[in-house]
């Protein structure tokens, strides 16, 4: 990987942390550029035209090219490493959990953490407030699916850690800041500890 790697990020974002954690586990050097999403720093005309037209972080810069979407960036860093299974079914199954994370986990668990922990319930719009219960139920469902899946296995796919574990770890380990009690999900708690014991593991922030 000859190109310089730069992570455009806000350190409070679990989507950004995922990428730093993959880089740390693989020993890849990563430069960091910080943005404050609460101050709209990813919605400036410059950011939208040069870095991501979607106005979101993280974006992984690879040389002079820009790669949005946290899980795509994790994939790029981990190609040809043991974090991506060699078996075709297992590789697709890993992607299955990464899509689950972006569709059924992050929009509920990460969003409630952002709203309740950073914006504050008193400052939410009426539309945001109307979504809290829906996101609470859907987030609990996602954690329950994970807990059942981990009932008789140590890792999400096959018998060793993959990107599926890393991307799901990120917002799960801070889910309590969104009001999701993890003690209800003992298999998830045991799995979180396994991830934290991986060689090269780094904490968030």
- The nearer residue to a copy of itself, 46 or 79, going by C-beta atoms, is 79
| Nearest distance in Å: CB 196, a copy of itself | 25
Instruction: Report yes or no: 3 and 26 within 8 Å, Cβ to Cβ.
Output: no
- The nearer residue to a copy of itself, 126 or 199, going by C-beta atoms, is 126
Asked whether position 148 contacts a copy of itself by CB under 8 A, the answer is: yes
- Residue 146's closest CA among 199, 178, 192, 113? 192
Buried b (16+ CB within 10 A) or exposed e, 121-141: eeeeeeebeebbeebbebbbe
Placement of tokens 């859907």 in the chain: 138
| Nearest distance in Å: CB 5, a copy of itself | 12
Instruction: Report yes or no: 8 and 61 within 8 Å, Cβ to Cβ.
Output: yes
Asked whether position 201 contacts a copy of itself by CB under 8 A, the answer is: no
Asked whether position 133 contacts a copy of itself by CB under 8 A, the answer is: yes
Instruction: Report yes or no: 60 and 67 within 8 Å, Cβ to Cβ.
Output: yes
Asked whether position 181 contacts a copy of itself by CB under 8 A, the answer is: no
Asked whether position 30 contacts a copy of itself by CB under 8 A, the answer is: no
Binders in 48-77 for a copy of itself, by CB under 8 A: 53-54, 62, 65, 67-73, 75-76
DSSP per-residue string spanning 163-188: HHHHHHHHHHTTGGGGT--GGG-HHH
Which spans of this chain sit near a copy of itself (rule: CB under 8 A)? 53-54, 62, 65, 67-73, 75-76, 79, 88-89, 91-93, 95-100, 102-104, 106-107, 127, 130-131, 133-134, 145, 148-149
């Amino acid at each position: 990987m000859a190109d310089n790697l730069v992570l455009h990020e806000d350190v409070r974002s679990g989507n950004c942390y995922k990428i730093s954690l993959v880089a740390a586990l693989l020993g890849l050097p990563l430069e960091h550029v910080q943005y404050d999403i609460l101050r709209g720093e990813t919605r400036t005309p410059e950011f939208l035209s040069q870095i991501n037209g979607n106005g979101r972080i993280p974006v992984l810069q690879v040389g002079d090219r820009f790669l949005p979407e946290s899980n795509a960036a994790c994939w790029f860093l981990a190609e040809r490493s043991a974090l991506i299974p060699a078996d075709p079914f297992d590789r697709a199954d890993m992607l299955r959990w990464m899509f689950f994370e972006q569709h059924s986990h992050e929009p509920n668990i990460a969003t409630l953490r952002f709203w309740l922990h950073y914006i504050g319930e008193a400052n939410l719009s009426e539309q945001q407030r109307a979504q809290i219960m829906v996101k609470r139920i859907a987030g609990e469902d996602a954690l329950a699916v994970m807990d059942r899946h981990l009932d008789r296995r140590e890792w999400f796919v096959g018998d060793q850690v993959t990107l599926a574990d890393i991307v799901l770890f990120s917002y799960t380990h801070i889910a309590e800041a969104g009001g999701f009690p993890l003690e209800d999900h003992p298999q998830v708690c045991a799995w979180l500890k396994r991830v934290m014991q991986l060689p090269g593991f780094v904490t968030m922030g």
